[in-house]
Amino acid sequence: MAERMLQFTHLPQRPPQKREVSDRQADFDEIYRRFDMQSATAQASRCSQCGIPFCSIHCPLSNNIPDWLKLTAEGRLEEAYELSSATNTFPEICGRICPQDRLCEGNCVIEKGFESVTIGAVERHITDTAFEQGWVKPIAPLQERAQSVGIIGAGPAGLAAAEALRSQGYQVSVYDRHDRVGGLLIYGIPGFKLEKEIVLRRWKWLADGGVKFILNTQIGGALKFSSLCAAHDAVLVATGVYKPREIAGPGAGLAGIVPALDYLITSNRKGLGDAVPDFDSGLLNAAGKRVVVIGGGDTAMDCVRTAVRQGAKSVTCLYRRDRQNMPGSLREVSNAEDEGVVFNWLAAPEAFLGDAKVTGVWATRMHLGLPDASGRQSVDPIEGSSFTIGADLVIKALGFDPEDIPVAFNEPSLRLTGWGTLKTDPKTFQTSLPGVFAAGDIVRGASLVVWAIRDGRDAAAAIHQFIQANAMAQAAE
């Protein structure tokens, strides 16, 4: 079947078609249409099956990408699913939201002009088909173990760890302060990138496999952290980071200047059918407003594209660096531009105008200077270049910092790093408290979903070793 591969020499790259801009501006459905089997097979066959698969090397999960592309090209989709899911807990989610242009596809060895393989779209197609065909079965451990693990946080890191530990036969309970499972996946990422049914489907799959979910639970409140630790043989903290970074400057406290996550959570809850007073009152609703989003990451792209769908009068993204130096996916920038978002590159806010409520952003032009200690070019203001952008709603998408977990959990023994993240042993994922582990953004800082999945899986392996070592020690006594 080798002749099926290396088709990139004459078969052009054809990503899944996008819905018409006018259609996608009007709803929160995913913008990319699905591959049919013929398209998926053809696009997978473009893989060059190179000797050193840089796509896999640059995937945080080390996915066996060339192998499942070859299986897809040969029509062996069930085997492709088995191989894909062996390294990735949620391949259909990563296929939708991973910045493939910066990871696997961006490191494809096929030369420019021929263009890379559409890895993400094929990955999504494989698992979506697997669900439709009934190939995705609930977790069925070979043996049930008496030991239990408590996981705090039902986001990607916590869920990845839950799947891995439950597969080993442990009794797994996942605690979360929200009323649905998914964390950032359900409340932070808009439906046009990840439809909520995809996340809810995984919740059901985990529950059917024996993972228990205890929702609407605030650790350190009604449920003490010490009580949770006493109830389990090990505990994993996977809370993520949600504290918004603030912005300085005159007028920064005016009404109408809101954190990105508050805005996105409100929008997603509305889409899920919840009663959301802040949306209905207009406080966190962009309808008819001049919207300015400050920031250049993927969260900023989620905000500008959400505002378009809510019927904003105008949407502007203000970012202090240029297009090439923005941290977000360039694919998302292109999608936002198609949908009518205006990008004001090399511009940063100096102050916010208005009396009781924001009416505008006073900004200044910037230029990129010499690289700093981190290797990134410094950003310096251009004297006399100030200008004003009218705004009725300003969304701060400047990144996230961790909450003070020792305070939130009322557990001062948990140690923090200088960045406020939980301090762990990098080899064992264990915190300063024996039997308490941590993984995901609460350890590494705000990062990608795919890295959270990797951390959750690795932490689960460390917890398994810890519990088994304790069991052997007790048996030897």
**Which pTM does this prediction carry?**
0.95
Contact 251, 225 (CB under 8 A): no
Please determine, looking at this structure, whether the domain spanning 2-133 carries the CATH number 3.30.70.890: no
Give dist(CA 9, CA 11) in Å, integer: 6
Q: What are phi and psi of 401, to 5 degrees?
A: -120, 160
Where along the chain do its domains lie?
2-133, 148-241+402-476, 245-399
In this prediction, residue 2 has a pLDDT band, given cuts at 50, 70 and 90, of very low
Does the domain spanning 148-241+402-476 belong to CATH 3.50.50.60? yes
Q: Which CATH architecture has domain 245-399?
A: 3-Layer(bba) Sandwich (3.50)
Q: For position 233, what pLDDT does the model report?
A: 98
245-399 and 148-241+402-476 share a CATH fold: yes
Question: Helices 65-73 and 37-44 meet at what angle, rounded to 10?
Answer: 130
Distance of alpha carbon 130 from alpha carbon 238, whole angstroms:
28
Give per-residue pLDDT as tens, 13-50: 999 999 999 999 999 999 999 999 999 999 999 999 99
pLDDT band of residue 3 (cuts 50, 70, 90) is low
Question: Cβ contacts of residue 157 below 8 Å, gap of 6+?
Answer: 238, 240, 439, 440, 441, 452, 453, 455, 456, 459
- What tens digit of pLDDT does each residue of 142-157 get? 999 999 999 999 999 9
What's the confidence (pLDDT) of residue 111?
77
The confidence score (pLDDT) of residue 122 equals 98
Tens-digit pLDDT profile for residues 263-302: 999 999 999 999 999 999 999 999 999 999 999 999 999 9
**Model pLDDT for residues 205-236, shown as the tens digit of each residue:** 999 999 999 999 999 988 999 999 999 999 99
Rounded mean pLDDT, 307-328:
94
Nearest C-alpha neighbor of 300 from the set 256, 361, 352, 345: 345
